[in-house]
Amino acid sequence: MTDGPANPSPSKRSGYLDFSGLARVYARRRIRDLQRVDASRTQENLLRRLLWRAQNTRFGKAHGYDQIRGVETYQKAVPVREYAEFWSDWWSASYPVLVDATWPGQIPYFARTSGTTTGRSKFIPYTRAMRRAAVRGFVDMLCYHLAARPQSRLFGGAFLGLTGPTCLDPAAAETSTGAVSAIAAGALPGFLSHRVLPPPDLADLPDWQEKIRRLAPLSLQSDVRCLGGSPNWLLLFLAEVSRLQADATERLVEWYPDLELILHGGVNFTPYRNRFKDLLEGSHAETRELYSASEGVFAYADRGDGEGLRLHLDGLVFFEFVPIETLSSITPARHWIGNVETGIDYALVISTSAGLWSYVVGDIVRFVDTNPHRLIVAGRVQQGLSAFGEHLIEEEIADAVASALSTLKLTLVDYSVGAVRTERGGHHLYLIELTHPADLAVGERLAASIDARLSKLNQDYAELRERDFALKSPEVELVNPGGFSAWMKSRRGLGGQNKVPRIISDEILFSDLRAGVMISGKGGTCDGT
């Protein structure tokens, strides 16, 4: 990491009061507090507080919360559940007015998910306490950025975030629904809220394309110090910024000379890393990941890119970790922060102050350190690809795609993969949208490179490919420019909260995606010629 300039660029005076010095003082104090945290004690005490608060709810009475005294008895009393069970057994009958069901009082918010895997939205209970805890996790991540840069001027300019609309939809009296970004926006501290882009009139635009078209020139007139969003949407936005430039330079330092931080999350960063490296050439900005979801903020980067994410232990989320191979059993093995191990793939399970109890988030995580606890997100529980017994996980597929792109010096807009079955087996089909047009030969080379990398990463895949019977060589079809955006807009809407599903096991959904992205076919180019 390199430190930023001591003073803002003379070409872009922000007009904001720079209180970065005060922020660094707070950051040092906060980090000292975090370093003294006893992880096991903090999490166990949190669980006890959650149980005490919820003991008189219908869920608490049904599970004997008044008799639970610790982690072990809690895990015996409360089984692991997925969203569908909560919805059918505890929420759907009275939704959207949920009172004393799984959390005391009336639930004020429901975070509407993007339905990444299935295309169907979920409605996750969210409370004001969870909202404050999420913002605290974001601020903690900023503290580590400030600690790494003694001369930081992060708070001397604007924060630009590519999130969903910030408006909430009324669902009932005193209850609203919306993207989790819209819910969290209401809890931003005052020192941040007045310097956030886009401004309210743009933030609430439902048309994502119109939003970035209007936000791009506004950002060039602003002293942007922080960019935030999922990597794929950030690249689409930066492509619009590039389009406004008179020269062919594609470097962030030319557009935002005092940019210090790119905050990303939501999708695996690996396939996009090289593209951001190119964009950041000559810049003093760094990238940091925030691991958040519609259920809360779970972890954040306290070190450099790829070094793991530090658990947000006081974010009103009690964490459990189920070895992925036991998740489908009647009595899955359940670990917590007191006994997790590094190098094991766990399904993340959470209990929160919004009434989620031993709730399966759907992510696979792997610890890289336990002092303090840092993890990486290895993929999704339901997003493995094993149509033919290959047992690929999302992490391996992302690695192979990133390796192929790097080898061929290509940059990515988005991609998705599914299985194509035939009478004699089948193959994997990758739908890949590149930033620049390419021809059939490029698609073939991408497929070959992905195939070779996966054969090194996964023994089951290698054995199936060696026989070339059940699993044929993969194919790549190149998506027309804007193809994924067109499909997302038609199916579920554009925006930072919505994501293209990476791995699709549902054949109907994959067929719909394949038709909707306007692929050019194996014999054409990426621009349809």
Give the separation between CA 215 and CA 203, rounded to whole angstroms.
Answer: 9
* Mean pLDDT within 144-157: 93
In sequence order, the β-bridge partners of residue 322 are 347
Half-sphere exposure (CA, 13 Å, Cβ side) for 328? 3
Mean of the per-residue pLDDT values for the chain? 87
When mean pLDDT is compared over 62-66, 323-327, 418-422, the highest value belongs to 62-66
Estimate to the nearest angstrom the gap between the alpha carbon of 516 and the chain centroid.
24
**How much is the pLDDT for 2?**
45
Span of 122-126, 146-150, 305-309, 482-486 with lowest mean pLDDT? 482-486
435/459 Cα distance (integer angstroms): 32
Look at 467 and 166; give whichever has higher pLDDT. Answer: 166
**Does residue 334 register a pLDDT over 90?**
yes
* Least trusted range by pLDDT, from 11-15, 183-187, 215-219, 348-352: 11-15
SS3 116: coil
Nearest-angstrom CA–CA distance, 189 and 175:
22
User: Cis link prior to 10 (omega < 30° from 0)?
Assistant: no
347 confidence band (pLDDT: 50, 70, 90): very high
Q: Does residue 73 surpass a pLDDT of 60?
A: yes
pLDDT of residue 414: 92
pLDDT band at 518 (very low <50, low <70, confident <90, very high): low
* Residue 528 binned pLDDT confidence (cut-offs 50, 70, 90): very low
More confident residue, 257 or 470: 257
Q: Please give the pLDDT value at position 12.
A: 53
Q: Confidence class of residue 258 from pLDDT cuts 50, 70 and 90?
A: very high
Average pLDDT over residues 126-133: 95
Question: Which of these, 86, 118, 55, lies nearest to 350 by C-alpha position?
Answer: 86
**299 or 493, higher pLDDT:** 299
Residue 294 has pLDDT above 50, yes or no: yes
pLDDT at residue 529 above 50?
no
Mean pLDDT within 82-101: 96
Per-residue pLDDT for 436 more than 70?
Answer: yes
Answer yes or no: is pLDDT of 1 > 70.
no
pLDDT at 311 over 80: yes
The pLDDT, as a whole number, for residue 122 is: 87
- How many angstroms separate the CA atoms of 351 and 60, rounded? 13
pLDDT digits (tens, 9 = 90+) for 440-498: 899 999 999 999 999 999 888 887 888 676 789 999 999 988 888 888 877 655 454 56
Residue the block writes with tokens 């990476």: 502
Contacts of 185 (CB under 8 A, 6+ apart): 163, 166, 203
Give the whole-number percent of the chain exceeding pLDDT 70: 91
Other beta carbons within 10 angstroms of residue 527's beta carbon come to 12
Share of the chain above pLDDT 90, in %: 59
pLDDT category at 305 given cuts 50, 70, 90 is confident
Flag the least confident range among 9-23, 32-46, 231-245, 320-334.
9-23
Q: What is the spatial distance between Cα 344 and Cα 368, in angstroms, rounded to a whole number? A: 9
Average pLDDT over residues 507-523: 72
pLDDT value for 383: 66
Q: For residue range 181-238, list pLDDT tens digits in order.
A: 889 887 777 777 778 899 888 888 877 778 889 999 999 999 999 999 988 789 889 9
pLDDT at position 245 over 50: yes
Query: What is the band of 407 on the pLDDT scale with cuts at 50, 70, 90?
Result: very high
* CA distance linking residue 196 with residue 177, whole number of Å: 22
What is the model's pTM? 0.80
Contact of 166 with 181, CB cutoff 8 Å: yes
Over residues 45-65, the mean pLDDT reads 98
Q: Which residue has the higher pLDDT, 90 or 179?
A: 90
pLDDT at 166: 76
